[in-house]
């Protein structure tokens, strides 16, 4: 029986990683999201090998690159995962004075720290903003940012989720009414493509045991992320089986 490669996964990012607009039931919080869906897939793969997976989602809406690198990365390292995903940068790029090179440099600092700790990194680039007319002026800036991320991925040997290259995201059905957050269909697409990048056949478990979500281990940043998510109706790290 083949041994699973990953047993502790931590997701970092903003509202996309938090799972905004992907409700577990109905049309409001709590959310599921692409990272939690990926955790289901990873656990399914682990269970085929008679093993399990622990998971923590530190993504919180409104977070920027500086928050991920300064707070979420150290919190993730403290949790001792073997896999960390990073999807961040969209909110930064819409700022009038955003510098895609500087943003990428900050991300590289975080990626380097994770890799130095022996952690595999799944690095996502940003969406092609041409899907929405009001975002199209940002396309050149986003392309420069992504070019830097590809260089970072090559230098630090990350797994790379090419979100820009997913033409499906030009489809209106992938986006919520605000054209900023993904629908359930969009989150499902991200999770399945992420699994394929990691070399795992799509396998989503319905009622997962994922019973040992990674708990905080004295990290203020992790505790703050959990508190913020709970305060907004998003459960703190707890069994995925209890979320759906």
**CATH tag, 8-243:** 3.40.50.1110
Q: Taking residues 119-132, what's their average pLDDT? A: 86
15-18: long-range contacts, CB 8 A cutoff, minimum separation 24 = 15/59, 15/60, 15/61, 15/62, 15/181, 16/59, 16/87, 16/90, 16/181, 16/182, 17/57, 17/59, 17/85, 17/87, 17/88, 18/57, 18/59, 18/60, 18/61, 18/229, 18/234
Global pTM exceeds 0.85: no
Phi-psi region of 26 (alpha: psi -120 to 50; beta: other; left: phi over 0): left
Select from 11, 3, 9 the least CA-distant residue to 46.
3
pLDDT at 103 exceeding the cut of 80: yes
Band (pLDDT 50/70/90 cuts) for residue 221 is very low
pLDDT at 224 exceeding the cut of 80: no
More confident residue, 6 or 178: 6
**pLDDT score recorded for residue 76:** 97
pLDDT at 133 exceeding the cut of 90: no
Residue ranges covered by each domain of the chain: 8-243
Q: Taking residues 65-81, what's their average pLDDT? A: 97
**pLDDT score recorded for residue 189:** 86
* Residue owning tokens 């940002």: 138
In sequence order, which residues have a C-beta less than 8 Å from that of residue 116 and are 6 or more positions away?
Answer: none
pLDDT at 20 exceeding the cut of 80: no
**pLDDT score recorded for residue 56:** 95
Q: Taking residues 11-28, what's their average pLDDT? A: 77
For 20, 135, 176, 178, 190, the CA distances from 132, given in Å and listed in that order, are 18, 5, 12, 10, 19
Q: Is 73 helix (H, G, I), strand (E, B) or coil?
A: helix
Residues 36-47 pLDDT 10s: 999 989 998 888
* Residue owning tokens 């499902």: 188
């Amino acid at each position: 029986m083949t041994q699973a490669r990953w047993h502790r996964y931590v997701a970092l990012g903003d509202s996309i990683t938090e799972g905004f607009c992907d409700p577990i039931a109905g049309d409001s919080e709590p959310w599921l999201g692409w990272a939690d869906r990926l955790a289901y897939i990873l656990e399914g793969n682990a269970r085929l090998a008679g093993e399990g997976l622990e998971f923590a989602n530190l993504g919180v809406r409104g977070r920027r690159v500086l928050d991920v690198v300064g707070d979420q990365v150290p919190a993730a390292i403290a949790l001792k995962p073997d896999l960390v995903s990073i999807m961040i940068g969209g909110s930064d790029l819409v700022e009038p004075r955003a510098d895609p090179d500087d943003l990428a440099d900050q991300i590289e600092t975080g990626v380097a720290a994770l890799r130095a700790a022996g952690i595999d990194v799944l690095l996502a680039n940003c969406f092609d903003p041409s899907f929405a007319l009001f975002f199209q002026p940002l396309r050149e800036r986003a392309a420069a940012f992504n070019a830097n991320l590809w260089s970072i991925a090559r230098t630090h040997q990350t797994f790379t989720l090419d979100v820009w290259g997913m033409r499906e995201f030009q489809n209106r059905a992938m986006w919520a009414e605000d054209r900023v957050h993904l629908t359930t269909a969009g989150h499902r697409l991200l999770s399945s493509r992420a699994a394929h990048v990691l070399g795992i056949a799509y396998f989503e478990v319905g009622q997962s045991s994922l019973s040992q979500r990674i708990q905080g281990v004295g990290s203020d940043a992790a505790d703050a992320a959990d508190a913020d998510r709970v305060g907004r109706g998003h459960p703190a790290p707890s069994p995925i089986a209890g979320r759906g």
